[in-house]
């Protein structure tokens, strides 16, 4: 598939716009051959994993994200034949310096190992090019320093984020407060055992009440700042999204999405691929009338809806996982924010009293 996206000048993926629950770690598994000489593990991995920088490898080792036979090791560990090595590496670009800032956090749950937040729409998750301050991570850094004044900017946890959501997506996000918790949660995301549910308002009405969208997701061949679906799987990373229609509103539908994978812009890209882009998604074609005509009264109504919810209508509603310390299953839910609930009510009223205006 090589269709042109709605807007070729969409935001850079690393400038604050990332996937709805994009996973930030990849897991590499290496078994040492029988004839392998005994060398330091950092030297061995740099030679075996050519796409991994030395800096990132050292950070991963320091954060106990390199395991040998299930246990973390140091850089000077010398490998042995038969060793099973697991390494979690960050998939995002190098982390920018984080300056603690007093930013309000909507904390849903917190203990010594994890922090679960309800992110508001419009907040970038972490610093990047063009977004050096005012991010959620800046606020988390300040929050942790209040709990532990001895923490310096250099000693703040570097691997706290194990997933992230779009700047303009609202909802739940879990942050690891320790390296051990980060390793555990990263493994759960990688194994697709994390419970994730999203609520979205999309254009049109899917034919089936439920379905599954499969298709590798990668950067668009022509427009490098957006993503595209490649059904044949010869490019990009595998991605699976399950959806269920919760309510049909003639011109739009309220759906629930369940992710098996966490790829960049996954829900947004997959729903556009099905012909049902997210309502008011300016990058993937949802910021124009997709269902209905340009009848004057209807067009004005849609424009009012865009004003009421000036971002793509997507909310990370539920998040569940095994607690990295207690090993008990925990689950958190976040109510729909006011802009999306108001948008839904506006559409309900419209289709009830003016069902044919958009025909």
Q: Please tell me the predicted confidence (pLDDT) of residue 16.
A: 31
Mean confidence (pLDDT) of the chain:
85
Residue 11: pLDDT band with limits 50, 70, 90? very low
Asked if the 195-353 domain carries CATH number 3.30.2350.10, the reply is yes
- Residues 151-190 as b or e (16 or more Cβ within 10 Å = b): eeeeebbbbbbbbbbbbbbbbbbbbbbbbbbbbbbbbbbb
Lowest pLDDT segment from 5-19, 68-82, 176-190, 287-301: 5-19
The answer to whether the beta carbons of residues 171 and 162 sit under 8 Å apart is: no
Q: Please tell me the predicted confidence (pLDDT) of residue 92.
A: 52
Q: What is the DSSP letter of 20?
A: T
Q: Please tell me the predicted confidence (pLDDT) of residue 209.
A: 97
Collapsing DSSP states into helix, strand and coil, what is residue 66?
A: strand
Q: Please tell me the predicted confidence (pLDDT) of residue 1.
A: 36
Residue 353: pLDDT band with limits 50, 70, 90? confident
Residue 95: pLDDT band with limits 50, 70, 90? low
Residue 169: pLDDT band with limits 50, 70, 90? very high
Residue found under tokens 């990688």: 190
Q: Please tell me the predicted confidence (pLDDT) of residue 4.
A: 38
Q: Please tell me the predicted confidence (pLDDT) of residue 358.
A: 65
DSSP element (H, E) containing 12: none
150/146: higher pLDDT: 146
CA distances from 112 to 126, 325, 343 (A): 21, 9, 38
Q: Which residues are catalytic?
A: 166
The domain locations on the chain are: 25-90, 195-353
Angle at 191 between CA 189 and CA 193, to 5 degrees: 70
pLDDT over 90 (residue 118): yes
Class assignment of domain 25-90? alpha beta
Instruction: Give helix 41-48 / helix 54-62 axis angle, nearest 10°.
Output: 130
Q: Please tell me the predicted confidence (pLDDT) of residue 354.
A: 78
Residue 224: pLDDT band with limits 50, 70, 90? low
Task: Name the range with the highest mean pLDDT among 64-78, 129-143, 205-219, 334-348.
Answer: 334-348
Region 89-114 average pLDDT: 81
Q: Please tell me the predicted confidence (pLDDT) of residue 359.
A: 66
The answer to whether the beta carbons of residues 167 and 124 sit under 8 Å apart is: yes
The answer to whether the beta carbons of residues 146 and 100 sit under 8 Å apart is: no
Alpha helix (H) residue ranges in the chain: 41-48, 54-62, 136-147, 179-190, 266-273, 296-308, 338-353
What is the bridge-based pairing of β-strands 240-249 and 252-259?
Answer: antiparallel
The answer to whether the beta carbons of residues 102 and 145 sit under 8 Å apart is: no
Lowest pLDDT segment from 9-18, 29-38, 143-152, 234-243: 9-18
356/114: higher pLDDT: 114
pLDDT over 90 (residue 237): no
Region 43-49 average pLDDT: 89
Region 143-151 average pLDDT: 87
Q: DSSP secondary structure string, 146-191?
A: HH-TT--TTTS-SS-BSEE--TT-EEEEEEESSHHHHHHHHHHHHT
Q: Which residue, among 163, 185, 107, has the nearest Cα to 139 in the 3D structure?
A: 107
Region 183-210 average pLDDT: 92
Q: Percent of the chain, pLDDT > 70?
A: 86
Distance of alpha carbon 251 from alpha carbon 343, whole angstroms: 13
pTM (two decimals): 0.82
The answer to whether the beta carbons of residues 229 and 270 sit under 8 Å apart is: yes
Taken as a whole, the chain contains a residue count of: 359
Distance of alpha carbon 176 from alpha carbon 324, whole angstroms: 9
33/98: higher pLDDT: 33
The set of residues, in sequence order, having a beta carbon less than 8 Å from that of 285 and lying 6+ positions away, is 5, 6, 272, 277
């Amino acid at each position: 598939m090589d269709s042109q996206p709605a807007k070729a000048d969409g935001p850079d993926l690393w400038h604050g716009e990332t996937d709805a629950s994009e996973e930030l770690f990849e897991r590499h598994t290496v078994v040492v051959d029988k004839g392998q000489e005994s060398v330091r593990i950092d030297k061995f991995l740099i030679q075996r994993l050519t796409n991994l920088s030395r800096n990132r490898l050292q950070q991963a080792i320091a954060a106990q994200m390199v395991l040998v036979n299930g246990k973390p090791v140091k850089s000077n560990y010398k490998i042995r034949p038969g060793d099973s090595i697991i390494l979690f590496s960050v998939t995002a670009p190098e982390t920018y310096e984080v300056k603690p800032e007093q930013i309000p956090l909507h904390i849903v749950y917190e203990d010594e190992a994890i922090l679960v937040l309800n992110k508001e729409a419009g907040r970038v998750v972490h610093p990047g090019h063009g977004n050096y301050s005012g991010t959620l991570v800046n606020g988390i850094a300040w929050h942790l320093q209040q709990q532990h004044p001895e923490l310096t900017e250099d000693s703040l946890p570097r691997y706290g984020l194990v997933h992230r959501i779009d700047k303009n997506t609202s909802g739940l996000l879990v942050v690891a407060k320790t390296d051990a918790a980060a390793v555990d949660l990263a493994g759960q995301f990688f194994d697709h055992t994390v419970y994730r549910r999203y609520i979205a308002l999309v254009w049109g009405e899917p034919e089936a009440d439920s379905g599954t969208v499969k298709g590798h997701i990668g950067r668009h061949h022509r427009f490098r700042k957006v993503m595209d679906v490649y059904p044949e799987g010869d490019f990009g990373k595998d991605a699976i999204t399950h959806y269920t229609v919760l309510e049909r509103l003639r011109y739009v539908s309220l759906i629930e999405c369940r992710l098996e994978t966490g790829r960049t812009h996954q829900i947004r890209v997959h729903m556009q691929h099905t012909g049902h882009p997210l309502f008011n998604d300016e990058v993937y074609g949802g910021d124009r009338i997709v269902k209905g005509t340009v009848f004057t009264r209807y067009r004005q109504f849609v424009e009012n809806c865009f004003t009421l919810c000036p971002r793509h209508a997507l909310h990370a509603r539920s998040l569940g996982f095994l607690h990295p310390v207690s090993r008990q299953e925990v689950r958190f839910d976040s109510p729909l924010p006011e802009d999306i609930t108001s948008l839904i009510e506006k559409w309900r009223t419209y289709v009830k009293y003016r069902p044919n205006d958009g025909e």
